[in-house]
Structure 1
Amino acid sequence: MLLKEYRDYFKTELLPVYDEKEIDSFFYITLEAFHQMKRVDLVLKPDFELDGMQLLQWETVLHQLKEEKPIQYIFEETEFFGLPFYVNENVLIPRPETEELVEWIINSVPEIAGDRKIKILDIGTGSGCIAVSLAKNLPEAEVFAIDVSEKALEVARRNARQNEASVTFWHQDILNTDILSETFDIIVSNPPYVRNLEKQEIAKNVLDFEPHLALFVEDHDPLLFYRKITQLATKNLNRNGLLFFEINQYLGKEMEDLLQEYAFENIELRKDIYENDRMTKAVRKSYS
């Protein structure tokens, strides 16, 4: 079958599930992955034909897409903050909103760094996207990362190696940690924050394939991780240190109240590109 003919079939099969723009994106990602061809190459090679093995590869991808498996998991790769990342179903797929958080952190470093080397901790690192991106863009910083999942840490370590980023990883359950072994100038976390009551808002491709351990919290205590991390920050964040969170868009006011409760100052609530309350920054001025 000619590849250009298969493209029409590919689109027809996926139109009940996705819009045309998404389908085009899936097609050209697959085209590059299997044939190292870009959109223009398809125009230049109108008679490019798929052999039996190649057709089987395409059909396998098509089947997975019809099941709404994320394309990032199918090819086990994605891009975050201009860097390539390996992903599998043990970690969340990095989101554009989290890139905004990373940029905010990088831009805030001059506030506290001076001439000294700063230390940064990423709690609940998952794929390592935050920690690795910070290490690559802040080469003078020492970056550490924690996760409760050893399988997630395997992914994060692989991404640090792939991107030649220096990150120290710890396997640790933050909910069962009373104090950290070091102090830091910046602590950042994108912890689980989706309440079970919000599951109906979650797309099938996320709900069926991404790790629930990294997504959901109980309805009765949605700030569980934020409270614990904020408590730890009162002990392990240096004076004038910065605490950053990615947050549930519906709980911005509750997050501000929590940070105030623990005597954090200069609290900022920032919206993401979709105009949702998505991230906070706060300063630890003094110790209680």
Structure 2
Amino acid sequence: MDTVIDKVKEKFNQNALQYDNQRRKLIPCFEDFYSVPVSIIETDKETPKILDIGAGTGLFASFVKEKYPKAKITLIDISENMLEKARSRFKEEENIAYINADYSEYKFEEQFDVIVSSLSIHHLTDEEKKKLFNHVYNLLTPKGIFVNADQVLGHTRFIDSMYKNDWNNKIAMSGLTDSEIQAAHERTKLDQMATLDHQIKWLSDIGFQDVDCVYKYFNFVVMFARKD
């Protein structure tokens, strides 16, 4: 029987070609959701080493690359089709590495100054999230930062229902086709979201400093954490 990871890989392999075009319509707060995390990524290194976990087509990494053009960026994703799109995106760029693997299990041989993620970690179980956050902490250099732009579970059933209703209403009016909307709903069946409060606590308990949610739009959030 396929694992959740296998199903995630299959769904995102299928959606790779349309992924970027659909982002602006599937994320009602698209501009803020990507500009805010980039704005808080600060390092005094001219050529920082940056890891993007669950990098997909490299959309988030492309914004980071604009801010730090000399950065050495590593993209890791379980979907080979997504990474093919990333390779096409960065074909003129240097210092980009690609890893086709499950980031929750992959053994990295180096540390990074910045680790980012966008709309990926919510596919993990709570225990897998905790394990990953600990792994991220160990992979960061001193004063390194972790920025996670993701979706969270509402802290009550009512609030979570409000989040979902808002998203459903907005994508229904987004201009996406019925088949595209249906495919998006199918992908949400793979979500294993956790509440924002729980994730803030997990990050703090691991040892991260200055843990905060710096942006929130219904269930779309940007979390920040710093290694001392």
Q: TM-score, normalised by structure 2?
A: 0.64
8 Å CA contact 1:119, 1:141 repeated in 2: yes
Paired residue for 1:254?
Answer: 198
Shift of 1:174: 1.3
Tell me, what secondary structure is at the counterpart of 2:202?
helix
Please list the CA deviations of residues 81-110 of structure 1 after superposition, one character each: whole Å capped at 9, or x if unmatched. xxxxxx515779434546535433433344
Q: How far apart are the structure 2 equivalents of 1:100 and 1:120?
A: 21
Paired residue for 2:83?
Answer: 153
Q: How far apart are the structure 2 equivalents of 1:277 and 1:102?
A: 11
1:85-234 map, 5 Å: 88=17, 93-95=22-24, 96=27, 97=29, 99-110=31-42, 112-113=43-44, 116-161=46-91, 164-166=92-94, 167-177=96-106, 179-192=107-120, 216-217=123-124, 221-222=125-126, 224=128, 226-234=129-137
CA distance 1:247–1:191, change in 2 (3 Å):
closer
Paired residue for 2:208?
Answer: 264
Letter in 2 for 1:192: S
Paired residue for 1:278?
Answer: 221
Structure 2 stretches lacking a partner, 5+ long: 1-14, 154-194
Letter in 2 for 1:180: F
8 Å CA contact 1:90, 1:151 repeated in 2: no
Tell me, what secondary structure is at the counterpart of 1:126?
coil
CA distance 1:136–1:165, change in 2 (3 Å):
farther
8 Å CA contact 1:193, 1:223 repeated in 2: no
Q: How far apart are the structure 2 equivalents of 1:181 and 1:94?
A: 32
8 Å CA contact 2:50, 2:113 repeated in 1: yes
Q: How far apart are the structure 2 equivalents of 1:94 and 1:279?
A: 16
Structure 1 stretches lacking a partner, 5+ long: 1-75, 77-86, 195-215
Shift of 1:124: 0.6
The count of corresponding residues between Structure 1 and Structure 2 is: 169
Shift of 1:120: 0.8
Please list the CA deviations of residues 220-272 of structure 1 after superposition, one character each: whole Å capped at 9, or x if unmatched. x3463x32331222221011100011233321101101101211010111334
Q: How far apart are the structure 2 equivalents of 1:223 and 1:247?
A: 17
User: Aligned-residue CA RMSD in angstroms?
Assistant: 2.7
8 Å CA contact 2:148, 2:224 repeated in 1: yes
Q: How far apart are the structure 2 equivalents of 1:182 and 1:192?
A: 22
Letter in 2 for 1:188: V
Shift of 1:181: 1.8
Q: How far apart are the structure 1 equivalents of 2:132 and 2:121?
A: 13
Q: Percent identity?
A: 22
Q: Does 2:171 match 1:242?
A: no
Shift of 1:142: 1.5
Q: TM-score, normalised by structure 1?
A: 0.51
CA distance 1:227–1:191, change in 2 (3 Å):
farther
8 Å CA contact 2:77, 2:102 repeated in 1: yes
Shift of 1:185: 0.7
Q: How far apart are the structure 2 equivalents of 1:90 and 1:107?
A: 23
Q: How far apart are the structure 2 equivalents of 1:239 and 1:101?
A: 26
8 Å CA contact 2:215, 2:223 repeated in 1: no
Q: How far apart are the structure 2 equivalents of 1:183 and 1:93?
A: 33
